Amino acid sequence: MIEKVYAYKSKSLILEMILDIVCYALILMMASSVFNNIYVENVWYALLASIVISLLNLTIKPFLIYITLPLTIITLGIFYPVVNIIVLKLASILLSSHFVIKGWFTPFFIAIFISIMKILFEIFIIKPIVER
């Protein structure tokens, strides 16, 4: 019985990760059509960028949050999107000309847009599918 529960949880987790990556790729494509300072070559590079960003969020982002925590507290959370900008810039560096984020000011709004869209996708798409 316990093995069935763990098997169900692992399938649910894998499904959630796949949906998360696909939704993030869609959000990146939407952001590239809304903003001029972000360029995604095609859907496949959007998927690759979402995988790279997910890996960076799992590895580097917790360290960046820990380092910038005092500044984030002082600015009452306004500095937090800068951590997202750094992650996006790192993904841009890793994917070179296929995924490009230009500048530092506009990516602030791009990071906020991505965060809002990610929350909406999580609430309205990912959770209802995973809960079924």
Distance of CA 28 to the CA centre of its chain: 9
Question: What pLDDT does 16 receive?
Answer: 84
Do the beta carbons of residue 126 and residue 23 sit within 8 Å? yes
Residues 26 and 5: their CA atoms lie apart, in Å, by: 31
Question: What pLDDT does 14 receive?
Answer: 85
Q: For residue 82, give its domain range.
A: 2-131
Question: What pLDDT does 98 receive?
Answer: 92
Give the residue ranges of the chain where pLDDT is below 70: 1-10
Do the beta carbons of residue 88 and residue 53 sit within 8 Å? yes
Instruction: Name the domain count of the chain.
Output: 1
Question: What pLDDT does 109 receive?
Answer: 87
The helix (H) or strand (E) run that includes residue 40 is: strand 38-40
Q: pLDDT tens digits, residue range 54-71?
A: 999 999 999 999 999 999
Do the beta carbons of residue 52 and residue 94 sit within 8 Å? yes
Question: What pLDDT does 2 receive?
Answer: 52
Question: What pLDDT does 7 receive?
Answer: 53
